[in-house]
């Protein structure tokens, strides 16, 4: 249920409404927008339906939320969410570029890779310390040691860092070392992991499950927000279909769909969507043209030496050219890429 407050509502009136909802053993989530403050009430709607809420000072109207996802829904928060990481805004006017290798490859290597991303014009560095590999015999990542290498890459370049967390027990240590925690496609419905990242105060990049519907994707984001963490970025990254000529099928069409349904920023991954380096820039342009707030691409100074996903990894020259073209597309869409 949504309680829409009057434009001139006072802090005391908001506190009173929040106390009233809590006294009914329901959970209030206050969203303060530019125009309006809205309180989303989570819990058994029958309890609240009996209450004459419109009679309380400061309340303008009371509405039922029709969507199964409530905190994620644009009904709850009409203004778009902007998530700030070290001065970079995800979901604002500017397009954000995240780039880096699939995996952390060593201390010296990760610093070199972050420098390459910085020099190419990327805003955030990516590299996996914990790697979810299809085969147990493939390289599994450097783990906690890799997190320390990532912290060094940030100290040397100033770029904020995103890395994947696979296990709820690692959320604390990953959050200590990096700026954004990634939940991978295979873990989109690992509900214990979603709840754990919901309890921290760091942004989460939530990848779409490779076989997940948009509703399932948004319900997974709802898990994180329901625990208190509202800093979620949605990441379409291709889905599995009958088509096998590319690693996945580019799901650019979901970008406007998700942006219509939710206030959360959308930052897409064309590398895992296509699976082959030659197609990555075109897929990035499609995502941006569809309204994405940014892209995350796998990039490496020597893709042939990459420890994982080398076939879909672009080199520095391609990254520079891709960013330049994305800037042109951004400007055509009244956005920018600094």
Nearer to ligand PEP among residue 128 and residue 281 (C-beta) = 128
For residue 84, the SS3 value is: strand
185 binds, among Mn ion, ligand PEP, none (CB under 5 to 8 A by kind): ligand PEP
∠ Cα 236 312 210 (to 5°): 30
CA distance 273 to 275: 6
Binding positions for ligand PEP, rule: CB under 6 A: 102, 128, 132, 184-185, 207, 237, 269, 272
Nearer to ligand PEP among residue 35 and residue 135 (C-beta) = 135
In the complex, the smallest distance separating the C-beta of residue 313 from Mn ion, rounded to whole angstroms, is 8
In the complex, the smallest distance separating the C-beta of residue 27 from ligand PEP, rounded to whole angstroms, is 31
In the complex, the smallest distance separating the C-beta of residue 281 from ligand PEP, rounded to whole angstroms, is 17
**Does residue number 309 form part of the binding site for Mn ion (CB under 5 A)?**
yes
Radius of gyration of the chain measured on its C-alpha atoms: 21
CA distance 113 to 304: 14
Nearer to ligand PEP among residue 33 and residue 132 (C-beta) = 132
Nearer to ligand PEP among residue 48 and residue 150 (C-beta) = 150
For residue 58, the SS3 value is: coil
Binding mask 76-105 toward Mn ion (x if CB under 5 A, else -) reads --------------------------x---
Query: Residue with CB nearest ligand PEP?
Result: 184
In the complex, the smallest distance separating the C-beta of residue 212 from ligand PEP, rounded to whole angstroms, is 11
Nearer to ligand PEP among residue 185 and residue 220 (C-beta) = 185
CA distance 290 to 67: 23
In the complex, the smallest distance separating the C-beta of residue 185 from ligand PEP, rounded to whole angstroms, is 4
CA–CA distances in Å: residue 302 to residues 71, 110, 299, 312, 317? 43, 13, 9, 12, 11
100: nearest Cα among 308, 321, 300? 300
First to last CA, the chain: 40
Q: Site residues (CB under 5 A) for Mn ion?
A: 102, 309
């Amino acid at each position: 249920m949504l309680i829409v407050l009057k434009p001139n509502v006072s802090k005391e009136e908001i506190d009173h409404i929040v106390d009233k909802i809590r006294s009914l053993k329901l959970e209030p989530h206050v969203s303060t927008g530019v125009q309006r403050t809205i309180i989303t009430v989570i819990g058994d709607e029958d309890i609240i339906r009996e209450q004459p809420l419109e009679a309380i000072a400061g309340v303008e109207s009371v509405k039922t939320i029709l969507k199964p996802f409530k905190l994620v829904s644009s009904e709850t928060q009409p203004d778009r969410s902007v998530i700030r990481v070290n001065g970079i805004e995800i979901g604002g006017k500017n397009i954000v570029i995240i780039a880096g290798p699939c995996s952390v490859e060593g201390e010296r290597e990760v610093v070199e890779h972050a420098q390459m991303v910085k020099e190419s014009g990327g805003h955030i560095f990516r590299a996996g310390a914990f790697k979810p590999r299809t085969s147990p015999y493939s390289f599994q990542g450097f783990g906690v040691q890799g997190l320390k290498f990532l912290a060094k890459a940030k100290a040397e370049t100033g770029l904020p860092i995103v890395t994947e967390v696979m296990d709820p027990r690692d959320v604390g240590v990953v959050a200590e070392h990096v700026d954004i925690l990634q939940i991978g496609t295979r873990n989109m419905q690992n509900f214990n992991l979603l709840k754990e990242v919901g309890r921290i105060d760091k942004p989460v990049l939530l990848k779409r499950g490779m076989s997940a519907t948009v509703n399932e994707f948004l319900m997974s984001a709802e898990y994180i927000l329901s625990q208190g963490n509202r800093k979620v970025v949605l990441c379409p990254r291709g889905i599995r279909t009958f088509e096998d000529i590319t690693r996945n099928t580019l799901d650019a069409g979901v970008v406007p769909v998700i942006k219509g349904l939710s206030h959360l920023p959308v930052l897409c991954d064309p590398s895992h969507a296509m699976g082959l380096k030659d197609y990555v820039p075109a897929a990035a342009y499609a995502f941006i043209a569809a309204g994405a707030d940014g892209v995350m691409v796998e990039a490496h100074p020597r893709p042939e030496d990459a420890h994982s996903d080398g076939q879909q990894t672009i080199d520095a020259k391609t990254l520079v050219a891709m960013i330049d073209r994305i800037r042109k597309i951004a400007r055509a869409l009244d956005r920018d890429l600094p």
